């Protein structure tokens, strides 16, 4: 009924990760050309990571195209090789949700979201449902389609196959970002055999009968290929510990949090900023802004604000901003596992900072990075994520942690890593060395 | 006499192109940490190219570290394998000039420089000689050293070996940018065998006696390896035509030029901008700013200005800015070689634009990209660039265009390419397709 | 009428160059599993090159699968994007001819062919037409099909589109070997943008009307992409000069030729070899052998013969074989361009060799490598190869040397390179150094 | 005392893995040019693996150069950055042992060794100690040096630092083969960050005092880099399961074993082979051969024997050889974990084979691949391999399985994998599909 209009000639984007991004549908082309999507060119994919790995300057625009391309390939693969029947609007649902899943990211993504209690998923949904460009185009394709796409991102759509391709433990989002982030940072930890993983993925052979069972994966793996997915999971684990949790990056994020905190505290005490750009004032004061306002903020916007704030009369704010702009970051030290000892060190450090004229509220932070690379499915426990499973010749599913001792060990991992204490470099202070 | 102080432990930057950038000297480490050098993180290496190749979001910071690293390797290679004797201050001269050669780049490099008649080489020199951070550090190493480093960039230093490594037809600048730009755009045209090129480079065996002869290269090639340099020259030629001259990128640059032109025209007619950031006003009005002012401008700064100007009451300025921010670029068509016919088309287009309400002064541009991949040395002609030459067993130099028919053909190339006409997309207008 | 039977499940070969080789047809699978095709695992792709570049140990089996895969992709691309209508037997013709085009290669390919006046193209045809495995399978698919496939390789088939994809100046054979040989040797000269070249290739839009015109290419290029093909041509030129013509490899080939010459001379003088394997005796004596006999010879066979011949009582033969097995190659020196001077050197060398006890007939050789990377089409001259041409919006063809000064210069190149003189290392003899 | 004589000019081998292999010492150059070392060009690195992964045609020559190059880099790194003092003869010991560690490999390595009860380590020692070429060169450098080099390979040399670099859980042998085998097969499982692993390796800071303690590693890791070694261990684990244990490769090895078994049984029953090459007869009959005889055997030798044996009158031997030459391998099926059930299947299969005319002794085999990717050090248990450990700021060693849950899980792994049953393809027999 709802037909995807093909472009006269296929358009391509040259992409370092996937070779080419292929665009065949007018709908996708139009979405890419909206101001809302073009804004993603001004949001970095990895926030502050470029302070640690200078190559990591790539944008969410990059990644969003990549996720779209992988979705396109998976759906095409499922249709060609497994006779999966998909209507045009189901294909469109997958492609659009993949393309737009990150459209609501704030500048410096997680840091700013955390500081200002914004969730990018919520903003993605708002933008998809009510922005001038995107929602209009989606609803022109099919009435109510914007809402549908948005519900996929919220995991509330009935099509769980499409949903799980976008957001699960083996989704096209993760596949793209591991490869892409590895490429731009220049490390090779994120590399896994994408082509093989795509080859061994297939829709569950009894898709219809299990479609409402949240614990049964909609996409399963050819048995003989499970090692490729084990490798994917290890890649993700490695990227978290080597890149995403890097203490120098966290240090920059700590600084960002402190800047927002100081700005909010000043705003609440009726401080008059000598430089301000709308809607940051509303955001800081009231935390209530519209979609149009939200979209005005990108990383150029924030960076300009921080730059101008280096001239603010408030010395804390101007100093913190100077540190961020010039990469004069806090240094860190690892706190001991012993809680009492750890507390003692923190208290001493607070005193030392005060002696040196630093207010610990703005110049000290502890940080404990953690993630579980793969959440193992627990039969009787609370559901976290649909498990990854291989399927044997008799159509039995075997959960991957039952095949791989590595995945099992990562799934069991409850708390690894250490707490870091961040403070400005002081005389005799321990200095981080890469 | 002037000794480079070593760092306690080598520091490294993970780099996608060179694996690691190695820093052993306190001097280099201190320079990298200056606000002036950190500013290069906010200047893209390829200006507007990211509108065509979305991967090209890498910064001058990236490239500058790479050029430094290559200089470090070449000097080390020359000392180890050719017993080139270099004092510490000569090594420092090479390393610092390599690191800082691009420190004066303006936002969106060439476009803004062109529009506002600024030359980045001049600003690089000013920043090196008189910025708070960099010049202080350089002169602390050795009195007058800032001036020395600056003179290398100006090709006015007596050490022509160091100079030619930074700026010649086979310099570490070109080597880095070809590989780096190829990597980030995702094309492979820029790839050449860096390791082999470095291996076959050697100082002229009679360096002392030819050091003042501008026509004799200070660095020569092992004869049996000249094909590797031929390949390097072809790579550069390919990158120019495939990447640097890409008509979509030029379209964005045309737009940028039009924005500056409109802003200047408005300023001269006493228009009051509703948004302005210092020192852009001074720059537009008087074209006279200080080093401190200059350094305030980065790409966040300019992008914020353009974003805010979308709300300007002047419809031309706001429309041009909207086009740039949202990537609603001018389309292009190739003009015929016949000059009369070409002129006729332009005149017709001007009329058409006026009919549609576009002022051709701000909405139409012709552009003729050209470059000569390799300037062949001309014995009796005006000197352009020191030639590249291989050296045989009897220490005779053979200029590379006498070895390679390809280089010869590229050197002869006077005018290839076509003139493009850029205008906004009009109804029935020819649309560019990648 | 003749239908390709699909395999139940696609089979793949993991390939370093193309990721995966995809086999979907029973016909192709059966051909790969014939003894005649498996024999290609025992013939190296680059003959003696592994003595110079140790990585170049890959086999013709490798390359043949790669050529098949590229043919598969091109045909699929033409059908999907240009609605090229191909019957199953036309597709089979292309795939089989691609897979089998090198099936007649002798051990150490060109050297042995040259020494014994065999042509691998002729043997390929014989094997396709009359071997037990291959011809039976082909004719079972369609009566007379073996002959058809063979005629494609002989450039005598009416389907010139298929023919030109296998053998022209822009064919899948060249595409595969450039990338593959570059990969295994470890150089990057052979790299070009395969994906882009495939994207811009398309069947001539008026294929029907030009199908009998030998001067009009059946496959043309999208105009905007011609630089990618220019790069392909340069890659081939570089590979010839850097790899295929490498003087150390030629030295090993000279040795091989000398061994065959000595063995023939001995055989003709009724020498009794203490070791001989059938059919080498027939081949050396009579130069007449059957297909079955021919197929017995692979590189293991020849290497074993040479190894055993190290124990022959004929000192010349045993010495030459020892040199080949232990890589004690002849050294080379470049002869001057001046013919008289060159002749003088050769005569002197002959005398010197005789003094040292070496018979110049078996211990001296001159070699002049040459190739023209791209044969430009000559309107009034003898046809060499169908030209490469781009097609513009008005369906006009522009021959690529009219677009590229590089291709033009390579096409004009008549004689570059030098003659090398090969002799055993003597005291005071010039030694080659890589 | 014993000085390494430098070459006039460095020689290099272009290598796909390490870029270039650098040779600076006459000693190394001479060793490479011995017939014994050149023989490694005729022994494949991965035996029968090329039947599964067609790219895996690379030789031991390749790998041996790579191991040498890594040893060269590690020693140079230790001397430059950790002031490790090494005499020339210690450096030579490391370089020679690295270069020669695999010189005794038999054709098709492990399979032939297993079938004929030969150990390549023992033959390596014999060749180093008593071959014409190698031992002469080594002892000319320093009297008794051949014995010294040999004792490193036997783990009997007092210099445990050098020994552990060649043979430990983190040695240059493993580093090279993981990267190299991944490259030639075309998979990416074997990739790890070589440069970073080399960077974080350092000699134990109290080398002198711990040099006789077998449980203390002589080479330790910078603490902050242990994740890179974790990745190395996972790479090895992946390569074992994906490449080295691949059931199709094992099938070819089973066939090889059966051929040797049949040949031995025939020889013992006084069968007269119509084709035989010395010293295979001695080897099969008596299993006693000299070093000179051993060196005559390479893969060309064996392949020629198998080829000629296709014409033997013994139908079992000729059929098995035909299968190997033409890659008509046994198929496999996975046996159930339940031992009784597994036994039942084997007995049934034996009967079936007999019915079909196949003697199970030569046409049936079970195979259980296993390896432990990393042997965790056990304090009270029997020593297997020196553990890998990171060193913290206080010079405390932390064994890597105490840092990495993954390594811990791999270390604990006692038995993973399944037993496969190999038999010829029968009607209705389960066919392996990649």
CB contact under 8 A, C20 and A195: yes
- The mean pLDDT of A180-205, rounded to a whole number, is 94
Element holding D221 (H helix, E strand): strand D219-222
Domains of chain D: 6-186 (1.10.3210.10), 247-369+418-423 (1.20.1250.30)
In sequence order, the 6+-apart residues with CB closer than 8 A to the CB of D261 are D115, D361, D362
Q: Select the residue from C190, C199, C231 to test the B interface by mutation, using most B Cβ atoms within 10 A.
A: C231
Residue that has been written with the tokens 């190149």 in this structure: C413
The lowest-confidence range among A411-415, B358-362, D18-22 is A411-415
Q: What pLDDT does residue D112 have?
A: 82
Rg (CA), chain A: 23
Q: Which two tokens stand for residue C35?
A: 């003894």
Angle, CA of D335, D337 and D340, to the nearest 5°: 85
CA D303-D308-D312 angle, 5° bins? 130
Nearest in space to B159 (alpha carbons), one of B55, B71, B44? B71
Q: Which of A8, A15, A51, A54 to mutate to test the interface with B (most CBs of B within 10 A)?
A: A54
Chains that touch D (3 or more CB pairs under 8 A): A, B, C
Is A38 in contact with B327 (CB distance < 8 Å)?
Answer: yes
For B194, nearest residue in chain D (alpha carbons): D19
- Of residues D81 and D4, more confidence is placed in D4
Q: In this structure, what DSSP letter does residue D53 have?
A: S
Instruction: Classify the complex by whether its ipTM is higher than 0.90, answering yes or no.
Output: yes
Preferred mutation among B237, B390, B407 to probe C, highest tally of C CBs within 10 A: B237
What lies within 8 Å, CB to CB, of B330 at 6+ separation is B251, B254, B255, B323, B363, B365, B422, B423, B424, B425
Six-digit token string for A274: 């000598």
Alpha carbon distance B9, D417 (integer Å): 45
Distances (CA, A) of B431 to A48, B333, D387: 38, 8, 65
pLDDT at residue D246 in the model: 94
Contacts of D19 in chain B (CB under 8 A): 195
B405/chain C closest Cα distance in angstroms: 6
Q: Which of these, C137, C118, C113, lies nearest to C37 by C-alpha position?
A: C137
Contact C129, C138 (CB under 8 A): no
- Nearest residue of chain C to residue D20 (CA atoms): C186
CB A145 within 8 A of CB A92: yes
Banded pLDDT at D44 (limits 50, 70, 90): very high
Q: Give the model's confidence band at D138: pLDDT under 50 very low, under 70 low, under 90 confident, else very high.
A: very high
Average pLDDT value for chain B: 91
Task: Let me know: does A408 contact A376? Beta carbons within 8 Å.
Answer: yes
Chain B: residue nearest D195 by CA?
B19
**H-assigned helices in B19-131:** 26-32, 35-38, 60-82, 88-100, 109-115, 120-130
Contact C20 A81 (CB under 8 A): no
pLDDT for position D110: 78
D76/B contact by beta carbon, under 8 A: no
- Residue D175, exposed/middle/buried by CB under 10 A (0-12, 13-18, 19+)? buried
Task: Report whether C91 contacts C369 (CB < 8 A).
Answer: no
A-chain CB neighbours of B277 within 8 Å are 304, 308
pLDDT of residue A116: 79
Q: Is B291 on the interface with A (CB under 8 A)?
A: no
Quick check: B241 and C234 CB within 8 A?
A: no
Q: Can you give the pLDDT at residue D114?
A: 80
The pLDDT, as a whole number, for residue C330 is 97
Query: What residues of C are in contact with residue B434 (Cβ under 8 Å)?
Result: 224
Give whole-number Cα distances, B307 to A296, B45, B271, in Å. Answer: 8, 21, 18
Contact D50 C41 (CB under 8 A): yes
CB–CB of B315/B298 below 8 Å? no
Instruction: Work out the minimum CA distance from D405 to partner chain A, whole angstroms.
Output: 6
Q: For residues A171 and A187, what is the distance between their CA atoms, to the nearest angstrom?
A: 22
Q: Which of C246, C243, C307, C248 is nearest to C425 (CA)?
A: C248
C-beta atoms of A16 and B304 within 8 A: no
Cβ contact (<8 Å) for A186 and B59?
no
* Among chain C residues, CA nearest to B242: C227
More confident residue, A371 or A244: A244
What is the per-residue pLDDT for A113? Answer: 82
Question: Which chain C residues in 301-340 lie under 8 Å from chain D, judged by CB atoms?
Answer: 301, 303-304, 307-308, 325-328
Short-list D251, D252, D275, D249, CA closest to D263: D275
Residue of C406, C408, C411 best to disrupt the B interface, most CBs of B under 10 A: C406
The answer to whether the CB of C7 falls within 8 A of the CB of C23 is yes
From C77's Cα to the closest Cα of chain A, the distance in A is 13
Within 8 A of A57 by CB-CB distance, chain B residues are 41, 57-59, 62
- Please tell me if residue D65 touches chain C, with a CB cutoff of 8 Å: yes
Asked whether the CA dihedral B134, B136, B138, B144 is positive or negative, the reply is positive
* Distances, alpha carbon A54 to alpha carbons A39, A106, C187, in Å: 22, 21, 28
**Cβ of residue C431 closer than 8 Å to a chain D Cβ:** no
pLDDT digits (tens, 9 = 90+) for D296-308: 999 999 999 999 9
- The answer to whether residues D305 and D280 touch, using CB atoms and an 8 Å cutoff, is yes
**pLDDT in the model for residue D371:** 65
Angstrom distance (rounded) from CA A73 to CA A80: 10
Q: Residue B380 — pLDDT band, cuts 50, 70, 90?
A: very low
- List the alpha helices (DSSP H) in D60-206: 60-82, 88-100, 109-115, 120-130, 132-141, 145-153, 160-166, 172-185, 194-200
B337: left (phi over 0), alpha (psi -120 to 50) or beta: alpha
Cα–Cα distance for residue pair B29/B92, rounded to 1 Å: 12
Which position has the token pair 């099938």? D251
Structure tokens at B103: 């420190």
pTM exceeds 0.90: yes
- B14, B59, B327 member nearest A57 (Cβ): B59
Task: Find chain C residues with C-beta within 8 A of A12's C-beta.
Answer: 199
pLDDT band at D412 (very low <50, low <70, confident <90, very high): confident
Q: Could you tell me the two tokens for D43?
A: 């022994």
Terminal Cα-to-Cα distance of chain C (whole angstroms): 58
Best C188, C373, C374 residue to mutate vs chain B (most B CBs within 10 Å):
C188
d(CA D71, CA D94): 7
| pLDDT recorded at residue D378 | 55
Work out the angle at residue D53's Cα, subtended by the Cα atoms of residues D49 and D59, and round it to the nearest 5 degrees: 55
Q: What is the pLDDT of residue C116?
A: 79
Q: Model confidence over B316-355: pLDDT tens digits? A: 999 999 999 999 999 999 999 899 999 999 999 999 999 9
* B194 touching C (Cβ < 8 Å): no
Residue of D242, D405, D412 with shortest CB distance to A410: D405
Cα–Cα distance for residue pair C321/C327, rounded to 1 Å: 10
Residues D324 and D305: beta-carbon distance below 8 Å: no
pLDDT band at B376 (very low <50, low <70, confident <90, very high): low
Per-residue b or e along D304-341, where b marks 16 or more CB atoms closer than 10 Å to that residue's CB: bbbbbbbebebebbbbbbbbbbbbebbbbbebeeeeee
Res. A376: pLDDT tops 70? no
Backbone phi, psi, residue A421, to 5°: -110, 125
Closest by CA to D168, choosing from D17, D383, D381, D379, is: D383
Across the interface, whether the CB atoms of C300 and D303 are under 8 A apart is answered yes
Report the distance separating Cα D386 and Cα D167, nearest Å: 10
Tell me the pLDDT of chain C (434 aa) as tens digits: 789 999 998 999 999 999 999 999 999 999 999 999 999 999 999 999 999 999 999 999 999 999 999 999 999 999 988 888 899 999 999 999 999 999 999 999 777 888 778 888 899 999 999 999 999 999 999 999 999 999 999 999 999 999 999 999 999 999 999 999 999 999 988 899 999 999 999 999 999 898 888 788 999 999 999 999 999 999 999 999 899 999 999 999 999 999 999 999 999 999 999 999 999 999 988 878 999 999 999 999 999 999 999 999 999 999 999 999 999 999 999 999 899 999 999 999 999 999 999 999 999 999 987 766 666 655 444 455 678 999 998 899 999 999 998 998 888 755 567 899 999 998 654 433 33
Q: Which chains does chain C touch, 3 or more C-beta pairs < 8 A?
A: A, B, D
Rounded to whole angstroms, the Cα distance separating A43 from D174 reads: 42
- Contact between A195 and C19 using a beta-carbon 8 Å cutoff: yes
Higher pLDDT pick, C434 / D120: D120
From chain C, the residues in CB contact with D326 under 8 A are 33, 35, 38
In chain D, residues with a C-beta closer than 8 Å to the C-beta of C32 are none
- Select the more confidently predicted residue: A434 or B58: B58
DSSP string, B153-202: HTT--S-HHHHHHHSSTT-HHHHHHHHHHHHHHT-STT---HHHHHHHEE
- A426: helix, strand or coil: coil
The whole-number average pLDDT for the span A253-270 is 95
């Amino acid at each position: 009924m709802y037909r995807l209009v093909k472009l006269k000639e296929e358009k391509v984007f040259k992409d370092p990760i996937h070779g080419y991004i292929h665009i065949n549908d007018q709908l996708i082309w139009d979405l890419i050309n909206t101001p809302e999507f073009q804004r993603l060119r001004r949001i970095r994919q990895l926030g502050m990571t470029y302070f640690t790995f200078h190559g990591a300057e790539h944008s969410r625009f990059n990644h969003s195209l990549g996720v779209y391309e992988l979705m396109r390939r998976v759906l095409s693969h499922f249709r060609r090789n497994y006779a999966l029947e998909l209507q045009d609007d189901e294909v469109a649902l997958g492609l659009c949700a993949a393309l737009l899943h990150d459209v609501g990211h704030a500048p410096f993504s997680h840091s700013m979201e955390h500081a200002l209690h914004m969730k990018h998923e919520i903003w993605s949904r708002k933008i998809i449902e009510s922005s001038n460009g995107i929602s209009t185009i989606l609803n022109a394709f099919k009435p109510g389609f914007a809402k549908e796409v948005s519900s996929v991102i919220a995991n509330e759509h009935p099509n769980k196959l499409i949903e799980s391709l976008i957001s699960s433990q083996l989704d096209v989002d993760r596949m793209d970002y591991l490869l892409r982030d590895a490429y731009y940072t220049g490390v090779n930890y994120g590399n896994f055999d994408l082509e093989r993983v795509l080859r061994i993925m297939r829709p569950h052979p009894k898709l219809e009968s299990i479609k409402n069972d949240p614990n049964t994966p909609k996409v399963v793996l050819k048995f003989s290929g499970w090692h490729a997915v084990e490798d994917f999971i290890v890649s993700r684990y490695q990227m978290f510990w080597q890149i995403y949790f890097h203490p120098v990056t966290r240090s920059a994020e700590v600084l960002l949090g402190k800047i927002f905190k100081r700005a909010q505290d000043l705003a609440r005490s009726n401080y008059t900023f000598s430089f301000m750009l709308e809607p940051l004032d509303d955001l800081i004061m009231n935390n209530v802004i519209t979609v149009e306002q939200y979209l005005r903020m990108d990383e150029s916007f924030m960076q300009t604000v921080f730059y101008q704030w280096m001239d603010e009369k408030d010395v804390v704010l101007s100093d913190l901003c100077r540190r961020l702009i010039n990469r004069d970051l806090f240094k860190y030290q690892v706190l001991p596992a012993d809680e009492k000892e750890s507390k003692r060190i923190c208290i001493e450090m607070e005193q030392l900072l005060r002696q040196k004229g630093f207010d610990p509220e703005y110049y000290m932070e502890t940080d404990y990075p953690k993630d579980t690379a793969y959440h193992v499915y627990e039969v009787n426990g609370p559901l976290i994520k649909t498990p990854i499973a291989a399927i044997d010749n008799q159509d039995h599913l075997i959960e991957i942690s039952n095949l791989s001792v590595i995945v099992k060990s990562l799934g069991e991992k409850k708390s690894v890593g250490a707490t870091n204490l961040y403070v400005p470099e002081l005389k005799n202070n321990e200095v981080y060395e890469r």
